């Protein structure tokens, strides 16, 4: 019998669960605690840079919620959900309906034709058609209509063993109000769920998104500060990195062993970001086996070789979309010792004067950082400082500059 090849266990794709989820126990405990609320007073925002594993962690919350007796509805929030208040409401109805489509909302009797025939009972189910009909026929604003639907849903579920409903939305930073069109879908969402939670209805919101998400929520409704608990995902520590690297290759029949020097190099080069750990490990794994298959007796795979591929696959596309002058600005930021944390406009201006590049003024830096924020390379936090929106971008820029010199 031909042996089945041992598949590469590492998965650096967007949102793909790793073979072993290292760390994040504290975050799971935080979510589990929220499920014990009665009534629900605190919701969750799960935030962090791209590559920290927000989507993967969100998926691990689902079985926790289901085991605790909660229903779970969730999806990615596309920008189309922000087009109008009706759009976000219909999004919620569409997500709820598969969960409750088998629940009886009402039983009605219908007379049968024929002498002595007993009336038959017709069950009205909470399917999408009914939810949409309730929404359309309820008088008032979109918020009133959505509240009516959610109150109906819970009135039908309250007699069951269901503890509540989690509405989990990924990429929630895409949601926003459209003041120029007089449409406020984000404000509607916050208003509706604050209202129904005050009435004791156990609906729990879980949003994941980039660090721009929570400031956007607070800008829409100031009470969002008291409505959400923010959990910021950071890097894995050294122990967690080691677990993410070694545990997947400790399985029986795995043909690859990752050496101690390689573990240390991967930990350092990944910066502790789960996506980069998965990417580096996957490339090292494949490269080793390909060399073996081609007859190399003692394959050699260095992390530096794989980092160059990471630059091409992950960073280069973003770098190639910026202008030459924007690259100069980003290069100045990469010279700052705190570039991987947060930096102020004044620091960039001061560093530009000794960088050997054409200096930047305060107004020019502010303008360019705003443009870079729109393109997803930087973001402004609430303290008047900026940060890179892409992890380890500073190191990539420094490698690019070194290659030119």
Q: Is residue 362's pLDDT more than 50?
A: yes
**Residue 180: CB atoms within 10 Å:** 6
Q: Is residue 115's pLDDT more than 60?
A: no
**What are the C-alpha distances in Å from 258 to residues 152, 249, 252, 262, 264?**
56, 8, 15, 6, 10
**What are the C-alpha distances in Å from 55 to residues 47, 122, 268, 269, 277?**
10, 42, 24, 22, 16
Share above pLDDT 90 across residues of the chain, in percent, rounded to a whole number: 46
The model's pTM is: 0.85
Q: Is residue 110's pLDDT more than 60?
A: no
Residue 1 is predicted with a pLDDT of 30
Least confident of 149-153, 197-201, 388-392: 388-392
Read off the pLDDT band of 122 (50, 70, 90).
Answer: low
Q: Is residue 108's pLDDT more than 70?
A: no
In the predicted model, what is the mean pLDDT of residues 73-100? 86
Q: Pick the more confident residue, 306 or 403.
A: 306
Q: Is residue 35's pLDDT more than 90?
A: yes
Residue 61 is predicted with a pLDDT of 95
In the predicted model, what is the mean pLDDT of residues 136-150? 94
Residue 402 is predicted with a pLDDT of 78
pLDDT per residue as tens digits for the range 240-254: 999 999 999 888 778
* CA nearest to 87, candidates 173, 167, 178, 203: 178
């Amino acid at each position: 019998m031909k042996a089945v090849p041992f598949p590469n266990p590492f998965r650096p794709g967007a949102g793909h669960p790793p073979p072993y989820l290292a760390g994040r126990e504290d975050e799971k405990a935080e979510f589990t605690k929220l499920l014990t609320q009665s009534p629900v007073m605190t919701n969750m925002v799960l935030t962090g840079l791209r590559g920290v594993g927000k989507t993967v962690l969100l998926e691990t919350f689902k079985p926790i919620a289901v085991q605790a007796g909660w229903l779970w509805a969730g999806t990615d929030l596309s920008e189309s959900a922000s087009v109008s208040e009706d759009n976000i409401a219909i999004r919620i109805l569409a997500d709820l309906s598969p969960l409750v489509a088998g629940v009886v909302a009402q039983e009605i009797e219908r007379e049968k034709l024929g002498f002595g025939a007993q009336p038959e009972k017709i069950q009205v189910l909470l399917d999408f058609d009914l939810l949409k009909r309730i929404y359309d026929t309820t008088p008032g604003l979109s918020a009133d209509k959505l509240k009516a639907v959610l109150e109906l849903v819970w009135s039908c579920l309250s007699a069951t063993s269901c503890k509540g409903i989690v509405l989990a939305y990924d990429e929630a930073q895409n949601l926003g109000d459209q003041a120029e069109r007089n449409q406020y879908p984000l404000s509607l969402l916050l208003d509706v769920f604050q209202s129904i939670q005050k009435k004791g209805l156990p609906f729990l919101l879980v949003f994941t998104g980039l660090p721009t998400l929570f400031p956007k929520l607070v800008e829409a409704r100031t009470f969002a500060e008291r409505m959400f608990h923010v959990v910021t995902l950071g890097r894995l520590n050294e122990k967690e990195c080691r677990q993410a690297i070694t545990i997947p290759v400790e399985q029986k029949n795995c043909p690859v062993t990752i050496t101690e020097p390689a573990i240390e190099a991967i930990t350092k080069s990944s910066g502790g970001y789960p996506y980069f750990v998965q990417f580096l490990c996957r490339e090292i794994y494949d490269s080793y086996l390909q060399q073996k298959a081609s007859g190399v007796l003692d394959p050699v795979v260095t992390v530096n070789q794989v980092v160059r591929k990471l630059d091409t696959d992950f960073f280069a596309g973003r770098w190639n979309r910026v202008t030459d002058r924007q690259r100069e600005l980003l290069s100045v930021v990469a010279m700052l010792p705190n570039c991987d944390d947060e930096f102020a406009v004044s620091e960039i201006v001061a560093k530009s004067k000794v960088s050997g590049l054409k200096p930047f003024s305060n107004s020019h830096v502010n303008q360019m950082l705003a443009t870079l924020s729109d393109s997803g390379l930087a973001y402004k936090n609430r303290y008047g400082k900026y940060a890179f929106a892409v992890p380890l971008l500073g190191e990539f820029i420094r490698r690019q500059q070194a290659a030119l010199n």
